[in-house]
Amino acid sequence: MSRPFLKMNGLGNDFVVVEAQRGAAAPFRPTPAQVRAWADRAQGIGFDQLIAVEPSERGDAFMRIWNADGEEVSACGNAARCVGWLLMQAAGRDGAAIETRAGLLHAADAGDGQVTVDMGAPKLDWRDIPLAEPMDTARVELQVGPIDAPLLHTPGCVSMGNPHVVFFVPDAEAAPVREVGPLIERHPLFPEGVNVGFAEVQGPGRLRLKVFERGAGLTQACGTGACAALVAANRRGLAGRAAELVLDGGSLHIAWREADDHVLMTGPVAVEFTGTLP
């Protein structure tokens, strides 16, 4: 059975969204090879992540996520904004609850085409990232380059439902994202792989960020990566608890709320086109 899809993006981080709610003849469970073929930007549809919107007992819908390499993952912040917007449009409400493998997320209409998603509390224990061995996740013992003159060193690690490592760099535009990203993504320190962020602190309320996403490569934006970067920067005293995160595709506003430790992400969503999966 062919399935219609909606192509959407959050700051250029793009998704194919498939409605897989009740009534479908069979569950939507594509093989890794199918996902890779559809994700191919030359011969397929092209996307960073494939999203299925499924029934949920806990929320308005369950969001299932596959990276472009075919691996199913637990969280995607920009996709949560897109799915939240779809659910709010369908129900005519200004809020929606989205169940994911990482937990329940709450989306809200922030006005002016913006959606806010409560991403929950960051996980900061080394077991929760997870790391292969005990470490202080605010300053992880990891470096790239010569021992006496490392190119990158002492990153922070944060889980936003998926694992992130954040290197602080003097110039994000000059950061070796494509060269270092693949090396760190599957480094032995990260048994489940890791999303690799390169953050330039431009002030207490502004960070420039590039992210090499696990299973997707360098993307235009990474919502959970932006959340992780703000948390990692704040833990090091490099930023406040709220900041503008400037990514290649645009800006997100991230706030790490003191009252309940939750991270709130606000940004736009866009609909590109509709189609049918081949």
User: What's the CATH number where 244 sits?
Assistant: 3.10.310.10
Rounded distance, CA 198 to CA 179, Å? Answer: 12
Residue 129 maps to a domain: no
Rounded distance, CA 126 to CA 193, Å? Answer: 14
Residue 51 maps to a domain: yes
**Coil/strand/helix, residue 158:** strand
Interhelix angle 77-91/223-235, rounded to 10 degrees, is: 120
What is the CB-side half-sphere exposure of residue 108 using CA atoms within 13 A? 8
Residue 132 maps to a domain: no
Place of tokens 């535009």: 173
Which amino acid is it at 147? I
- Backbone dihedral angles phi then psi of residue 150, each to the nearest 5 degrees: -65, 145
Residues 272 and 252 occupy one common structural domain: no
Residues 205 and 220 occupy one common structural domain: yes
pLDDT of residue 27: 84
> Residues 6 or more apart from 125 whose CB is under 8 A from it?
137
The range of the structural domain enclosing residue 223 comes to 143-261
Residues 56 and 159 occupy one common structural domain: no
pLDDT greater than 90 at residue 215: yes
Indicate if the alpha-carbon torsion angle 54, 59, 65, 71 is positive or negative.
negative
Residue 227 maps to a domain: yes
- 188's tokens: 């032995």
Residue 126 maps to a domain: no
Total domain count, the chain: 2
What is the CB-side half-sphere exposure of residue 187 using CA atoms within 13 A? 22
Q: Which residues are catalytic?
A: 76, 222
Residue 147 maps to a domain: yes
pLDDT in tens, 199-209: 999 999 999 99
Q: Are 212 and 196 in contact (CB under 8 A)?
A: yes
pLDDT in tens, 124-160: 999 999 999 999 999 999 999 998 889 999 999 999 9
Residues 95 and 203 occupy one common structural domain: no
Residue 68 maps to a domain: yes
pLDDT greater than 90 at residue 23: no
Residues 114 and 34 occupy one common structural domain: yes
Residues 113 and 153 occupy one common structural domain: no
pLDDT in tens, 74-101: 999 999 999 999 999 999 999 999 999 9
What is the distance in angstroms between the CA of the first residue and the CA of the last residue of the chain? 10
Residues 234 and 177 occupy one common structural domain: yes
Residues 156 and 72 occupy one common structural domain: no
> Residues 6 or more apart from 192 whose CB is under 8 A from it?
130, 163
Residues 63 and 106 occupy one common structural domain: yes
Rounded distance, CA 122 to CA 265, Å? Answer: 13
The DSSP code sequence of 175-191 is S-HHHHHHHHHT-TT-T
Provide the H-helix boundaries in 126-202.
177-185
Closest among 210, 201, 197, 200 to 165, alpha carbons compared = 197
Inter-CA distances, 14 with 104, 221, 269, Å: 22, 9, 10
pLDDT in tens, 27-78: 899 999 999 999 999 999 999 999 999 999 999 999 999 999 999 999 999 9
Closest among 90, 8, 99, 116 to 54, alpha carbons compared = 99
Rounded distance, CA 204 to CA 240, Å? Answer: 5
